[in-house]
Amino acid sequence: MSTTAEPSPLALTPVATLSVAGARIANAARLVAVHALLILALVFVLGPIIWMLTTSVKPANEIFQAGIDFMPRNPQPITNYSDAFASVPLLQFMMNGVIVCAGILVVQLLTSIPCAYALAKIRFRGAPVVFALVLLGLCIPIQVPALPLYLAFAQLGLLNTYLGLMLPFFLSVFAIFLFRQFFRSFPDEIIQAARVDGMSEFEIVWRVVVPSAWPAIAAFSVFSVTAHWNDLYWPLIVVSKDALATPPLGVAFFFDAETGSDFGSMMAAATLVSAPLIIAFLVAQRQFIQGITMTGLK
């Protein structure tokens, strides 16, 4: 605004120039103050992450020298990581994490998308009941059905199995809710035209509606994978063996067993476990922020 405005005669008087300069200085000072505050907050927010990264390449003697040196003096980029791999089956944990997250996500999409389509676009008498159940289900976190599920899984021999880790999450009411919202804005004319062309409802869902719903599916996938990669409560209940532990559970086992004696390799392990999601976030920032803050809608 100030650049395009014609210099008014008043601006040429010394007093006015002074006040313009003063405003500039005040503006600059405010800018500096804002950035200073933001950077101070960043120290709190990024501090632990940076500390984790730098400690993971510090030699043991530097770690146990209590100090505030962020940077390692004699960085040893390999030692702690190879120690971590040697003492914990980290790759196994990550593999388990991938299997569990992928299995959960695929089944969630297969069960929730048709249901969401039915609720959004098909008129049938059971619809209000199903939708009411979905709304009720939205309020119930996993900790509520956990006890009976555990007892049933013990009976069925599902403890310490991949299926046991995944089964309670095979249906996401949140996915139904979200996709229903999304499908409702899909034009009815296109669906009608597809029906006239003789497409079955099944084909309409998977070949007409789903291809247009990728943004919602991507956002939900981010939400689901993040939630289940990081989940501790259910794996802790259903798995007691290293071989089946998901990343958080594996790290928790490891931390318990070591009782804080080897911080270097623990920081290396923490880095490796956090890395996939952090890298994925940095690559696909927009989808991540969208996907995770969608829980706010929940």
Contact residue for another protein among 16, 194, 218, 292 (CB under 8 A): 292
Contact residue for another protein among 37, 156, 163, 243 (CB under 8 A): 37
Contact residue for another protein among 64, 128, 156, 257 (CB under 8 A): 64
Count of other CB atoms within 10 angstroms of residue 290 = 17
Query: 267-285: string of b/e by CB count within 10 Å (b at 16+)?
Result: bbbbbbbbebbeebbeeee
- Return the H-helix or E-strand segment holding 288: helix 285-293
Interacting stretch for another protein, rule CB under 8 A, among 7-15, 30-38, 80-88, 157-165? 30-38
Cβ-based nearer residue to another protein, 12 or 233: 233
In the region spanning residues 144 to 173, those forming contacts with another protein, defined by CB under 8 A, are 144-152, 167-168, 170-171, 173
Q: Does 195 bind another protein (CB under 8 A)?
A: yes
Q: Does 126 bind another protein (CB under 8 A)?
A: yes
Q: Does 217 bind another protein (CB under 8 A)?
A: no
The CA-based angle 269-272-275, given to 5 degrees, is: 145
Q: Does 119 bind another protein (CB under 8 A)?
A: yes
CB of 237 to another protein, least distance (A): 5
Distance CA 79, CA 75 (A): 10
Closest CA to 43 of 72, 23, 68, 65: 68
The site map against another protein for 241-260 (x = CB under 8 A) is ------xxx-xx--x----x
- Is residue 55 within 8 A of residue 75, CB to CB? The reply is no
